[in-house]
Amino acid sequence: MLIRKQNGFDDFVCIADQCPKSCCIGWQIVIDESSLGKYKDTTGDFAPTLQNGVDQGEKCFRQTAGRCAMLRNDGLCDLQKNLGEDYLCDTCRLYPRHEEDFLDLREETLTLSCPEVARMLLDPDYEYGFTEEEDERSDDPEEYSDCDLFLLDELEYAREKMAACIKRRELPFQERLSMIGAAAIDMQYSYDFGDIDLIGKTCERLDKADSFDNAVDIPLEEIEHLNATGIPLDFSYAMESLTFLAGLEALEEDWPNTTRSIKEYFMKKGSSSDAWKEATEPSSIQIQTVFEKVFLSFLYTYLCGSVYDGQIYARCMIAIWSVRWIMLMFAATDLTMEQAIYLYSRQIEHSDENINALISFFEEEIG
């Protein structure tokens, strides 16, 4: 199996009690079957604490006021302290690491919902990229037999072209995103018409195009629903999308209020304000670089998943609009860049309901 690993993946170290937004607070931690059995059979002094803290029926750790029952007041894990790291369940052992399998390829990435990962991404010396190595792990390819290798090749190629496009600093940042969105709609049409071999080729235009209307093979006027899409950044679309975001499942109590206040802030400022322009087209190269990396993180997490569901356009738009929404969050609130990134990710990426809602949101706009 080929392992494609995000830079820094193996170097990640949890900062535990120093963490400003612990993954042990606010989330229900699901326990795998093997760990459940191990916890049930544990004996010794710590066994009663552990067994009282586990809900065997719901297969998760119990919580008190949103805190995992194993989380001590000093911010450390009682289970890990008493029984060691080997006793952690899969969820706690893996997080914030994320694995995505495609037949004989495994992609390993770090999720932005962890403040320490967000901090790593913000480091000017951190370059978003991957290393590859062969691994002898013997996963059964049959398990992923619905993975179309030909389509996957095309998506990987397209993704590389998009990744290069987001770094084209000679173009305005939003133009780069819009060009990628235009390529995605073209890719979706190729997929829908069965022209899989055109998917990667479509993105070759991203190397040289200088605006979103010459980033696609088909004339834009032929794209039926273009005006209803969020491909080029549009103020009204952005404001409506914030209402949609406010209505998503709230994993963070403040989420609906935060998104509403972002909308109120920009509605007061208006589309021709300096606040809107600077929020969406940051003049600082340092800030642009961060948003390039944020985009890459979402692109690498979501795009190739369309090999399983065919939602090329919607998945690409999740990457594009996640960046745009984080830009607006950062500009309109007191949140630091790091906080805006991990709070957004916590809200969206750890809820299947929210990810599916985003896919439907973007899918519907192209009919």
- Using CA atoms, how far apart are residues 71 and 63, in angstroms rounded to an integer? 9
**Looking at 14, 147, 275, 287, which residue binds ligand SF4 (CB under 6 A)?**
14
Cα 115 from Cα 113, distance rounded (Å): 6
C-alpha to C-alpha distances, 20 to 25, 113, 149, 280, nearest whole angstrom: 11, 12, 41, 27
CA distance 95 to 112: 11
The region of 13-21, 61-69, 209-217, 325-333 touching ligand SF4 under the rule CB under 6 A is: 13-21
* Binding segment toward ligand SF4, per CB under 6 A, in 12-20, 52-60, 299-307, 325-333: 12-20
Among 3, 19, 196, 226, binds ligand SF4 (CB under 6 A): 19
What φ, ψ does residue 97 adopt, rounded to 5°? -85, 140
* Residue number, 10 or 139, with CB nearest to ligand SF4: 10
Least separation in angstroms between residue 24's CB and ligand SF4 is: 6
**What distance in Å separates the CA atoms of residue 169 and residue 171, rounded to the nearest whole number?**
5
Q: Which phi and psi (to 5°) does residue 68 adopt?
A: -60, 140
Q: How far apart are CA 89 and CA 29, in angstroms?
A: 9
Q: What is the token pair recorded at 316?
A: 């690409």
Q: Does 25 bind ligand SF4 (CB under 6 A)?
A: no
Q: How far is the CB of 77 from ligand SF4 (least distance, A)?
A: 9
How far apart are CB 317 and ligand SF4 at their closest, in Å? 27
Number of residues interacting with ligand SF4: please give it, by CB under 6 A.
11
Q: Is residue 23 near ligand SF4 by the rule CB under 6 A?
A: yes
The minimum distance between CB 116 and ligand SF4, in angstroms, equals 4
Nearer to ligand SF4, 75 or 310 (CB): 75
Residue 44 dihedral angles phi and psi, to the nearest 5°? 110, -175
Of the ranges 19-27, 81-89, 241-249, 333-341, which one interacts with ligand SF4 (CB under 6 A)? Answer: 19-27
C-alpha to C-alpha distance for 260 and 333, rounded to whole angstroms? 11
Site residues for ligand SF4, window 70-129 (CB under 6 A)?
A: 95-96, 114-116
Which one, 13 or 285, has the nearer CB to ligand SF4?
A: 13
Q: How far is the CB of 60 from ligand SF4 (least distance, A)?
A: 16
Paired tokens of 63: 């919580």
- The residue (of 69 and 215) whose beta carbon lies closer to ligand SF4 is 69
Residue 2: C-alpha distances to residues 18, 61, 106, 131, 178 (Å): 35, 34, 6, 10, 32
CB of 13 to ligand SF4, least distance (A): 8
> Does residue number 16 form part of the binding site for ligand SF4 (CB under 6 A)?
yes
CB count in 10 Å sphere of residue 255: 20
Task: CB nearer to ligand SF4: give 9 or 144.
Answer: 9
**Nearer to ligand SF4 (CB atom), residue 19 or residue 147:** 19
Structural tokens at position 255: 């989420």
Residue owning tokens 């967000």:
118
CB of 118 to ligand SF4, least distance (A): 9
CA 296 to chain centroid: 9
| 268/263 Cα distance (integer angstroms) | 9
Smallest distance, Å, CB 234 to ligand SF4?
Answer: 35
Nearest approach, Cβ of residue 245 and ligand SF4 (Å):
22
Which positions ≥6 away from 255 have C-beta within 8 Å?
246, 248, 347
Structure tokens at 309: 């569901």
Choose one: 10-18, 121-129, 179-187, 206-214; the region binding ligand SF4 (CB under 6 A): 10-18
How far apart are alpha carbons 363 and 367 in whole angstroms?
Answer: 7
Q: Does 22 bind ligand SF4 (CB under 6 A)?
A: yes
Give me the residues that bind ligand SF4 (CB under 6 A), please: 14-16, 19, 22-23, 95-96, 114-116
